[in-house]
Amino acid sequence: EVHLVESGGGLVQPGRSLRLSCTGSGFTFGDYAMSWVRQAPGKGLEWVGLIRSKTYGGTPEYAASVKGTFTISRDDSKSIAYLQMNSLKTEDTAVYYCTRMIGTGWPVDYWGQGTLVTVSS
């Protein structure tokens, strides 16, 4: 059974950094693109970015709202995807979901339970 488990969320002050991790199990992690989606409290879903599988170059893509401040990476040997978030702002407060995709041009088929990031002084 496919499982995605996010960790690393919490309370952080504006301007600080935080790294989220997403550990996958029940599938061959390296064969899939991994994506992050966030949801601010009481709001809708916002795609943050993705990282392709190594087969497709392992390259990341980002939403304009986070480009230059967030970085997505992966360690296939550990079945982990990371979301490094720098220069955090209050508007980055959200539940961050890790998701799996066969690749770009394919739908998200599994979601983690999410981890809450609160940016506040």
Partner 1 sequence: DIVMTQSPDSLAVSLGERATINCKSSQSVLYSSNNKNYLAWFQQKPGQPPNLLIYWASTRESGVPDRFSGSGSGTDFTLTISSLQAEDVAVYYCQQYYSTPLTFGGGTKVEIK
Residues that bind partner 1 (CB under 8 A): 35, 44-47, 50, 61, 63-64, 97, 101, 104-114
**Long-range Cβ contact pairs of 59-66 (< 8 A, separation 24 or more):** 61/104, 66/92
In the bound complex, what is the minimum distance in angstroms from residue 80's beta carbon to partner 1? 19
Q: How far is CA 32 from CA 36, 51, 94, in A?
A: 13, 9, 25
In the bound complex, what is the minimum distance in angstroms from residue 118's beta carbon to partner 1? 17
Q: Which is nearer to partner 1, 88 or 101 (CB)?
A: 101
Q: Which is nearer to partner 1, 57 or 121 (CB)?
A: 57
Q: Which is nearer to partner 1, 38 or 74 (CB)?
A: 38
In the bound complex, what is the minimum distance in angstroms from residue 113's beta carbon to partner 1? 6
Q: Which is nearer to partner 1, 82 or 97 (CB)?
A: 97
Q: Is 87:69 a contact under the CB 8 Å cutoff?
A: yes
Q: Is 97:114 a contact under the CB 8 Å cutoff?
A: yes
